[in-house]
A and B are shown apart, each in its own frame.
Chain A
Amino acid sequence: MSGDKSISIMSSDTLASLRSRFLPDHLIGEIMSKRWIDNAIPFTALVLTVLVMGSIIPDFLSLSSLSDLARQFAEFGLVVLALTVVMISGGIDLSVASVFSLAVLFSLIGVNVYELPVPAVLAGILGMGMVCGAINGVLIGYLRLRAFLTTLVSLIIFRSLYEIVFVRMSTSIMSGFSMSDLWVFIGEGTVLGIPVSLLITLIIALAWHLVLSRMRPGWRLTAVGGARRSAFNAGIDVRFMVFLTYVASSTMCALAGFLFAARLGSTGSDTGVGLEVQALTAAVLGGTAIGGGRGSVAKAIIGSLLVLMLTNGLINLGISGPITSTILGAILLLAVFVDMRWQKHRHRILAKVYVSPAYLSLPPSPQVDAPGSPYVLNDRLRSVEIIGLGEIEGPEDVILDRDDNLYCGTRHGDIVRFFGPDHKRSEVFAHIGGHPLGMAFDKSGNLLVCIGGMGLFQVAPDKTVTKLTDETNRSWFSVVDDSRLRLADDVDVAPDGRIYFSEATIRYEQEDWATDALESRASGRIICYDPRTGKTHTEIPKLVFANGVAMCPDGQSFIFAESWTCSISRYYFDGPKRGRTEKVISNLPGYPDNINRSSDGNYWLALLGMRGPALDLALRMPGFRKRMARRVAPDQWLYPNINTGCVVKFNEKGEILDNLWDLGGLNHPMITSMREHRGWLYLGGVSNNRIGRYRLPDADPNWCAQDAYWGARS
């Protein structure tokens, strides 16, 4: 290689490393995977509208016009919210405008003409709204009529009612006048500078937000809209839910009409005309799905603000009403189009941008076949005895108790126990549901299990399953919710009972664990659960696929593996070196997985796969891997070679003492775990259909890990 070339490679590497360190590429995918990202486009449109209108229309953002806008929003927002609730449940309510105008009319009749007390009028109006809604609700929810046609009909009927009554009462409404302070307060008053009507709307909006996003009725509503049949099968009273949405919708519209009447004190023949189209535009612009199942209060608010600002702005610009409506219609069309494209492509875009590789430069791989290398290639593992062939799938970790029973997890979510000493018979020891990964025994013989996607569980000797923890402290600047445990991996217990376990990555689910290798980003960690306090906290953040964990006999430290950096470290959680991390091995020839103690005071380490030069080079070229993730199908991606595995024995100084191989992976393609027990080494692999058992020639035939950790059986 010429000098120039090596310099250019150096500089391109430096550039790639700086870029991956300072540009948070991975955040794009994490933000894209958030549910609230649906609001991004409407929100941007809203901000743009404010900026554009504010710059071309003088006084658009002045206090008086804002206060006017706030009152308009209070009424219009309620109508949009009403429509949104119906749309979330999969229906549509075209009668919102006629209910609104009826409410305006009857409020004025009650207050101005008959001079009834305002609270009584309000109660009557709300009651009227409920009745209107109940008519719709019975027809649509219980008699299963089409929502569109039914509400179209009720739109016409309620509107006709309005016309009939309006013609008779218009003069008396005009001549009447209410002296009620409450009426004036509702129409024009403020609380702490906030218009009363806006306050009412905001309280209702907040209540709906809580219901829709945090409470069972809201979830049921969304379920009904998302998949009616599934909701029915899940035991939801679909008809009743649909009925309720129409009642709620019309009641809110009636309230909006009441507020409108209080503000203006008069009504005209065109009150509420075209409001349903405006409301529909606002709901769709906000991102509420016409088909149901998707929508939120935030969307309704964004959409109604957008429509209000547009119409106000257009009116301010002197554009006539019909043209404004045309423009709104065009915007509705555009919104439907954008919404459809967004829904269709969002997951595809997410799939393409989520994988965000980082720069990782590994030290040169040791030459395993070179003379003098501590690694000696052999086929010693090809002759292992096989346990449970075809009975189990995916024994990531294996462990043995004092009675020689063998425990392993399977991808079906079971912990299977093979009875010692011959391990021919087996039973399902516990069914937890997630794929069990790392295991350990605590002092009282409870089996501690890390379960991918679920967290840390405990299985007592009497088979009772207890969840120990499934969350840790949320870190401040993480976009993905890193308080949940996504991929708890390996576990070990300190002498005082504290449980240390690794979480491989916070960015991928268990079945995508190998994709994390493509990223090689520091998104794993080691977490501590203290059974004395029941608290969980993150002990070491930012590890690159934190994997095996094994306690050191000193009781103050543990050894842990980071797979993609091919390194082993030691962490002190107690004693004089507390909080310190020391590297033990930094250039393994493969990717380390679980670590466990050996009978001679050293450690066994499983290499789940071997490093290859092509991937090592790609790790220094994050741009290459990023393009690969976008261009090439996942099955064709470059992956760590996990078809060959081996077991290595090392000591605390980081010296390699022994190694066992199955080259070509005939018997054990991948080894993710191994346990020494009474002279045998038991082997597990996360994608194997068997457990291996290898006779260790020089091992102590009576050594049992449980005794070594907790002393002989008492």
Chain B
Amino acid sequence: MIAAIRNAWANFRGFDLTGSTVPPMDGPLRPNAKLDAMPVLMQLDDVDNLTPAHDGILCSSGNDLLTLSTSGDASQFELSARCPMDGPVTSIAALGENLAIAVEGRGILLESPSTASRPLKVEGINPSCVTAMVFADPTRLFVAVGSDRHAASEWKRDLMTKSASGSVWHIDTGSGRAERLLGGLEFAAGLALSGKDIFVAEAWRHRVLALTGGAQPRVALAALPAYPGRMTPSASGGFWLAMFAPRNPLVEFVLKEDEYRRRMVDTIEPAYWIAPALATGKSFLEPIQGGARKKLNMLKPWSPTWSTGLVVRCDDRMAMLRSYQSRADGDVHGVTSLCETGGRLIAGARGSGKIVAIDDETAA
């Protein structure tokens, strides 16, 4: 009863009881268009899961597992191998010649030079929503599961139905023994190892957690203005963090509007929802916001948008240092995967289907 009165009062006065106010893009996240200025190495639709491997860079595009390599001219990538899988590839991890590939509906496949490819069966893991994996050593694999209810490709539905059923696992690939380190996460979307710490990006709570041993997780990064996704360690210390979509006040509002959200999820195609997206403006059926109306034939860079490109350089404690952005009018949106190679960061903008190279030293 008291809670109801409190909610009604907050509703009347417009207080924010739920932490749904989108923080400003400030400090290290001060708006810039640096990501748009970076050289494009390759156009590849639906590029995801960029992973450095022993024979080039692995990535996925839909159901295909691809190997990219630099030819003589280092400014361009080219496709050197393509391997169709049984479903959309949701994540890839590599350590030396050991590979782990998660395929939607199939679960995790392990490949190593000594043995043939074999599936890794783990009781309790949703095989369709392995969002990130990382090897601690050739036999120990950390796995992030976004949601128990939805497939990785249905991430919007997971946000809009608030399933809060993500988890982080530690798996011994040899024995197949699995331990759940953390459950009840709102879409675990990224993993990174740092000594004893495991960093976990919890997308729908806009934060990055740090797990140390069996202790309670510590919040390493919170109140982010975008949804954090995959992370990758940098050779020069610290981490790179990709935030795959921006938070939006209207989306936060819809998340509080149960009736509208339910009817939207039930009756409308996900591409046309009021929800974050990897790319905006693909169809005129998408909703738009007041500030995103073109004026004098221009879309302003500060327009509200469902998608942006955002790559953040963090230090070894996951504190943000600087960022590379593609704003509403840019075209490197929906960066989902990052990997370092040859001293450069390679970022895969899945929304725009672009692979760009970030040279941190010169751009900083």
A contacts, CB < 8 Å to B:
1, 5, 9, 12, 393, 514, 609-615, 617-618, 621, 624, 627-628, 630-644, 663-665, 668-670, 687-690
**Could you pull out 14 A-B pairs where Cβ atoms are within 8 angstroms?**
A609-B284, A613-B272, A614-B264, A617-B267, A627-B257, A630-B14, A635-B289, A635-B304, A636-B290, A642-B288, A643-B284, A663-B284, A669-B294, A687-B295
> Complex: how many Å from CA A150 to CA B236?
75
B248 at interface, CB cutoff 8 A: yes
The residues of B that contact A636 with a CB separation of less than 8 Å are 248-250, 289-291, 304
A643-B250 in contact (CB<8A)? no
> Complex: how many Å from CA A630 to CA B10?
13
With A514-B293, A641-B288 as known contacts, state yes or no: A621 contacts B253, CB within 8 Å: no
> Complex: how many Å from CA A500 to CA B309?
50
The residues of B that contact A633 with a CB separation of less than 8 Å are 249
Contact of B274 among A9, A638, A663, A664 (CB under 8 A): A638
How far apart are A409's CB and chain B's nearest CB, in angstroms?
A: 15
Contact of A631 among B14, B263, B268 (CB under 8 A): B14
How far apart are A589's CB and chain B's nearest CB, in angstroms?
A: 9
A643-B290 in contact (CB<8A)? no
The residues of B that contact A624 with a CB separation of less than 8 Å are 257, 259-260
With A636-B304, A643-B284 as known contacts, state yes or no: A690 contacts B297, CB within 8 Å: yes
A641-B257 in contact (CB<8A)? no
With A624-B257, A632-B250, A664-B281 as known contacts, state yes or no: A643 contacts B266, CB within 8 Å: no
With A1-B266, A617-B268 as known contacts, state yes or no: A634 contacts B290, CB within 8 Å: yes
How far apart are B358's CB and chain A's nearest CB, in angstroms?
A: 28
How far apart are B336's CB and chain A's nearest CB, in angstroms?
A: 23
> Complex: how many Å from CA A669 to CA B294?
7
**7 shortest A-B CB distances, which residue pairs?**
A635-B291, A644-B284, A614-B287, A610-B284, A689-B296, A669-B294, A613-B268
Contact of B297 among A614, A618, A630, A688 (CB under 8 A): A688
The residues of A that contact B221 with a CB separation of less than 8 Å are none
B285 at interface, CB cutoff 8 A: yes
The residues of A that contact B289 with a CB separation of less than 8 Å are 635-639
A637-B296 in contact (CB<8A)? no
A613-B269 in contact (CB<8A)? yes
Give chain B interface residues in 271-313, CB to chain A under 8 Å. Answer: 272-274, 281, 284-297, 299, 304
The residues of A that contact B295 with a CB separation of less than 8 Å are 687
How far apart are B284's CB and chain A's nearest CB, in angstroms?
A: 4
How far apart are A651's CB and chain B's nearest CB, in angstroms?
A: 25
With contacts A639-B293, A687-B293 known, what are 18 further pairs, Cβ within 8 A?
A1-B266, A5-B266, A514-B290, A609-B284, A611-B285, A612-B288, A613-B268, A614-B264, A617-B260, A617-B264, A635-B291, A636-B290, A639-B290, A641-B285, A641-B287, A643-B299, A644-B284, A690-B297
A612-B287 in contact (CB<8A)? yes
How far apart are A115's CB and chain B's nearest CB, in angstroms?
A: 68
The residues of B that contact A644 with a CB separation of less than 8 Å are 284
The residues of A that contact B272 with a CB separation of less than 8 Å are 612-614
A614-B14 in contact (CB<8A)? no
| Among B259, B272, B289: residue with most chain A CB under 10 A | B289
With A514-B293, A635-B304, A669-B297 as known contacts, state yes or no: A612 contacts B286, CB within 8 Å: yes
A641-B286 in contact (CB<8A)? yes
> Complex: how many Å from CA A229 to CA B177?
82
> Complex: how many Å from CA A664 to CA B93?
37
B290-A613 in contact (CB<8A)? no
| Among A635, A665, A669, A670: residue with most chain B CB under 10 A | A635
B296-A393 in contact (CB<8A)? yes
> Complex: how many Å from CA A267 to CA B354?
94
> Complex: how many Å from CA A670 to CA B249?
25
B260-A612 in contact (CB<8A)? no
The residues of B that contact A514 with a CB separation of less than 8 Å are 290, 293
The residues of B that contact A628 with a CB separation of less than 8 Å are 250, 253
B257-A643 in contact (CB<8A)? no
How far apart are B117's CB and chain A's nearest CB, in angstroms?
A: 41
The residues of B that contact A690 with a CB separation of less than 8 Å are 297
With A617-B263, A638-B274 as known contacts, state yes or no: A643 contacts B292, CB within 8 Å: yes
The residues of A that contact B290 with a CB separation of less than 8 Å are 514, 634-637, 639
| Among B250, B285, B291, B299: residue with most chain A CB under 10 A | B285
| Among B260, B272, B274: residue with most chain A CB under 10 A | B260
> Complex: how many Å from CA A628 to CA B291?
15
The residues of A that contact B281 with a CB separation of less than 8 Å are 643, 664
> Complex: how many Å from CA A689 to CA B295?
8
Complex: chain B residue closest to A640, CB-CB: B288
With A632-B249, A643-B284 as known contacts, state yes or no: A687 contacts B267, CB within 8 Å: no
Complex: chain B residue closest to A623, CB-CB: B259
| Among B286, B294, B304: residue with most chain A CB under 10 A | B294
Complex: chain B residue closest to A645, CB-CB: B284
The residues of A that contact B286 with a CB separation of less than 8 Å are 612, 614, 641
The residues of B that contact A1 with a CB separation of less than 8 Å are 266-267
> Complex: how many Å from CA A669 to CA B295?
9
A614-B273 in contact (CB<8A)? yes
With A636-B304, A638-B289 as known contacts, state yes or no: A687 contacts B294, CB within 8 Å: yes
> Complex: how many Å from CA A643 to CA B284?
8
How far apart are A568's CB and chain B's nearest CB, in angstroms?
A: 20
Complex: chain B residue closest to A389, CB-CB: B297
Complex: chain A residue closest to B20, CB-CB: A631
Contact of A641 among B14, B267, B284 (CB under 8 A): B284
The residues of A that contact B248 with a CB separation of less than 8 Å are 636
The residues of A that contact B294 with a CB separation of less than 8 Å are 642-643, 665, 669-670, 687
> Complex: how many Å from CA A561 to CA B299?
28
> Complex: how many Å from CA A689 to CA B272?
29
B285-A613 in contact (CB<8A)? yes
How far apart are B13's CB and chain A's nearest CB, in angstroms?
A: 10
The residues of A that contact B304 with a CB separation of less than 8 Å are 635-636
> Complex: how many Å from CA A642 to CA B292?
9
The residues of B that contact A630 with a CB separation of less than 8 Å are 14
A610-B259 in contact (CB<8A)? no
How far apart are B255's CB and chain A's nearest CB, in angstroms?
A: 12
> Complex: how many Å from CA A393 to CA B274?
31
B297-A638 in contact (CB<8A)? no
| Among B259, B268, B284, B285: residue with most chain A CB under 10 A | B284
Complex: chain B residue closest to A517, CB-CB: B290
> Complex: how many Å from CA A16 to CA B315?
52
> Complex: how many Å from CA A172 to CA B91?
109
The residues of A that contact B257 with a CB separation of less than 8 Å are 624, 627
The residues of A that contact B14 with a CB separation of less than 8 Å are 630-631
The residues of B that contact A634 with a CB separation of less than 8 Å are 290
A615-B263 in contact (CB<8A)? no
Q: Mark B240-263, 1 if CB is under 8 A from A, else 0.
A: 000000001110010001011001
How far apart are A359's CB and chain B's nearest CB, in angstroms?
A: 14
How far apart are A520's CB and chain B's nearest CB, in angstroms?
A: 15
> Complex: how many Å from CA A319 to CA B285?
72
A637-B250 in contact (CB<8A)? yes
> Complex: how many Å from CA A259 to CA B292?
67
A638-B249 in contact (CB<8A)? no
Give chain B interface residues in 24-79, CB to chain A under 8 Å. Answer: none
> Complex: how many Å from CA A627 to CA B250?
11
> Complex: how many Å from CA A621 to CA B267?
14
B249-A614 in contact (CB<8A)? no
